[in-house]
Structure 1
């Protein structure tokens, strides 16, 4: 599929690559959770967006919502263990994240889930990645964003201050510790005119 992207004025590099992870900054959250954020980790992000837009086998899903089935408001694609990722830089990113977090995570990032937010009507509701081991164990989910920036919101389960991070154009966020169990995150709908965004979520085995 093809959705028009307004390129970033700050990412004019056409060659897709990764910067060092040494500059990543950590914020410690409540109840054993933390997040690491590194703006612009991936260079040539607009070029990568165009490749993923064209090459990934995007599909729509429908889910049961109370007494009816509804469209999932974004397009999806999932790459399991051993599947070739749609661009070599994503293999490099997964390997770099595995090496950087080896001491804390103790296992590799293995899968990649991709979400395509076509415009402001696409979204994801408040949730934690608690299907599988994330419901009972500390883990990590690393997200690389390409395309237009959209706000990722985080809030403690049960209520509290909401944190807001505008992610796009090669930005990286890693949610770790108890974050999936004790916090929730969301990409809200917006009535503003916004461009398309693709997020790539790297996860360890058994975390969805």
Structure 2
């Protein structure tokens, strides 16, 4: 059973334990706290990032992936925009001690309108298939629903991921929960999602 939008769960506490070692943390307006130019970042990334379209085998057909993507190792290659390295430093200052290692990569998705989406999945390629880790997501542009559900069934969460919000999934979340950005028929503008991950986590 899918619950109503639940941003209020985080009004008084940043972190919520989800069970089985998984947790979720939301920091509303995180980008705006010391980034005076946050309103321009969406347009700058939209224009500077080398976006690419992907196609994926689905059963007997090859289909377009309903979003544009770009992936960057911020340690071994030049960043496509300097603010990505700044955001990575902020995240590492906050979370690297608990994580036990730094965030090293930035994966970006451009959702052009409500028809763009990402299906239920966990970021469990690489070490996150077996080990606890963190994935930190910064939202830019239009608000979209960020949905989570336990693997194997159970009540889901539906959260508004607003411009400038930071959402962090930690512990066993990538192995024991799934997340998605559902399509929507409501008119909505474009959104950029920036996903920061440690080495060998996808």
Q: How high is the TM-score relative to the length of structure 2? A: 0.88
Per-residue deviation, 1:24: 7.5
Matched with 2:39 is: 46
Contact 1:45 1:147 in 2 (8 A): no
RMSD in angstroms over aligned alpha carbons? 1.4
Identify unmatched segments of 5+ residues in structure 1: 1-22
Structure 1 residue matching 2:139: 3-state secondary structure: strand
Contact 1:35 1:174 in 2 (8 A): yes
Matched with 1:20 is: none
Per-residue deviation, 1:100: 1.2
Contact 1:78 1:114 in 2 (8 A): yes
Name the CA distance, whole Å, in 2 between partners of 1:164 and 1:84.
35
Matched with 1:121 is: 115
Name the CA distance, whole Å, in 1 between partners of 2:141 and 2:50.
18
Name the CA distance, whole Å, in 1 between partners of 2:85 and 2:66.
27
Name the CA distance, whole Å, in 1 between partners of 2:77 and 2:115.
30
Q: Which has the higher helix share?
A: 2
Matches within 5 A, 1:179-190: 179-190=173-184
Matched with 2:158 is: 164
Matched with 2:8 is: none
Per-residue deviation, 1:88: 2.4
Matched with 1:79 is: 72
| More deviation, 161-170/27-36 | 161-170
Name the CA distance, whole Å, in 1 between partners of 2:80 and 2:187.
28
Per-residue deviation, 1:142: 0.3
Name the CA distance, whole Å, in 2 between partners of 1:39 and 1:87.
23
Matched with 1:10 is: none
Deviations 1:5-45 (A, max 9, x none): xxxxxxxxxxxxxxxxxx97101111110011011111243
Identify unmatched segments of 5+ residues in structure 2: 1-11
4+ residue runs over 6 A deviation? none
Matches within 5 A, 1:94-105: 94-105=88-99
Structure 2 residue matching 1:101: 3-state secondary structure: helix
Contact 2:49 2:81 in 1 (8 A): no
Name the CA distance, whole Å, in 2 between partners of 1:201 and 1:147.
15
Q: Which has the higher strand share?
A: 2
Matched with 1:192 is: 186
Structure 2 residue matching 1:151: 3-state secondary structure: strand
Structure 2 residue matching 1:139: 3-state secondary structure: coil
Matched with 2:103 is: 109
Matched with 1:27 is: 16
